[in-house]
Amino acid sequence: MKRFVGPLDKRRRISRCQPCAKRRIKCEGGSPCQHCVRTNKTCEPQSPVPHEIQFVAEQSPRHPSDTRISVQIHAVRDAVYLDHFVTFIQRCQFTAGFASATIDMLRCMNTSQPLHNLTMAIGALEASRRSSVRSDPLHDSPQFIAFGFYGRSIQALNHRLETRDALHRDDVLWSTFLIGLFELMTEASGEQWATHMVHGTSMIFQMTGPTKRPSALREQLFLAFRVLETHRAILYGEQTFLSRDVWTQYQESMASKPPEPGGLVLELMIRISSFAKRFFDSIEAIPDSLRSMHPKMDALANEGVTLLQHLKAWHDNTIVDSDDQNAYLNLALANYHALVLFHCRNFAFYPGWNEDSNLRLTRAEIDQHVDVIILLAGPILELSTIPGVLLLFPLRMAGANTTSADGKKRIRAILSRIYQKGFVVSDRIKVDLERCWEYQSRHECQVQLPDIVI
């Protein structure tokens, strides 16, 4: 196709044919030209150059200072998240000695990638809930960064578990514990936390067995783990390996002299939780028509009375021996009142027990236990460093047994404060209690909550 060139067109005029242009000689004589006639070639005009658009990506050379600035920004960010982690963990003292353990754990963070990522994840998550830390459209939000660190910590932990000595490494054990803590802060159902407790920290302790001379870091972690594992077992109505004889003896060997009240209550919680699981399994295995005369029913009642006597003996001795009531003692007392409600309530689900049995509570006694739990829970949450997640069992039992509108209102308020302080899993307890109260209002009677409540 002939290309027309105007007087103002800056494109080069094409006048040579293809053979002449190829040989770079002058094209003369019209068409066909003299050269093509002489060489017996086809005289064809040159093809027009296609019009193309070419995008050119131009990037200025990166100055070394840009890299240094990026590293400095991340260093400042990590320092902020570390500060938030430390602040959070200081308000999350599962035991009286947990504070010293966290200091040693932070030293391990510098040499452990999964532990470093988890501290950053919890710190970023805590930062996302504070108005002092804001995100902007040009950078990822702290919450997004928190889940990024969480995902990388899982990958790093899986790689670390492939090493030979993984089960004996303190940083691996702490990483599994912090994973569960992160999930209590982010997942309302509590299912992921329970799964990691059973298949993570719990499994490592069982595979390594009771350690005769554990490191201070490992010992403090076990004591903190025991608290959460005990609450998991009694809330979910499941067995725990802590009820086995070898682990019962191990816990007794680690107890302080004299034993702390909180430790003794945990032992009773483990025993009563284990008994409750066996109690329901045994009764359900007996046909309804045979239960009233079955000898196993009397055996269960006698064992239940013995456990209740141990509970009351602990309470009487603790009240007499304690001059001052600290937060951990108040938590132990709240758990005591919750255990009495839990234990006696189990015997109310089946007919056949004597009405004058010690396992029966009057309405006045139930209300008294509920009122004490609510009275203790508020100051524990607001005035101590004990994490609110340890109040879920007492509040669950108080809520399941209260008939007072004021009591329900106060329980809702405490659960909301636990949520605001970082543990969203408390929302599951609130939802379950709301369903229970709704059922009670329709049927004008109390009803058992599901075994799994978080």
Q: What is the pLDDT of residues 203-255, one digit of tens each?
A: 999 998 988 778 888 888 999 999 999 999 999 888 899 999 999 999 888 87
How confident is the model over 81-105, as a mean pLDDT? 88
C-alpha distances out from residue 193 to 63, 142, 200, 423, Å: 46, 22, 10, 12
**333 has a pLDDT exceeding 60:** yes
**55 has a pLDDT exceeding 70:** no
**412 has a pLDDT exceeding 50:** yes
CA-CA distance, 399 to 366, in Å (whole number)? 11
How confident is the model over 106-110, as a mean pLDDT? 86
- 64-90 helix and 142-161 helix, angle to the nearest 10 degrees: 90
At 260, give phi and psi (nearest 5°).
-75, 145
Which run of H or of E encompasses 355? none
Per-residue confidence band for 42, with pLDDT thresholds at 50, 70 and 90: confident
The answer to whether the beta carbons of residues 195 and 136 sit under 8 Å apart is: no
CA-CA distance, 406 to 426, in Å (whole number)? 19
Per-residue confidence band for 63, with pLDDT thresholds at 50, 70 and 90: low
Half-sphere exposure of 77 (CA within 13 A, CB side): 20
How confident is the model over 17-22, as a mean pLDDT? 80
Q: What is Dmax (Cα atoms) for the chain? A: 131
How confident is the model over 107-118, as a mean pLDDT? 91
Taking phi over 0 as left and psi of -120 to 50 as alpha, with beta for the rest, 296 belongs to alpha
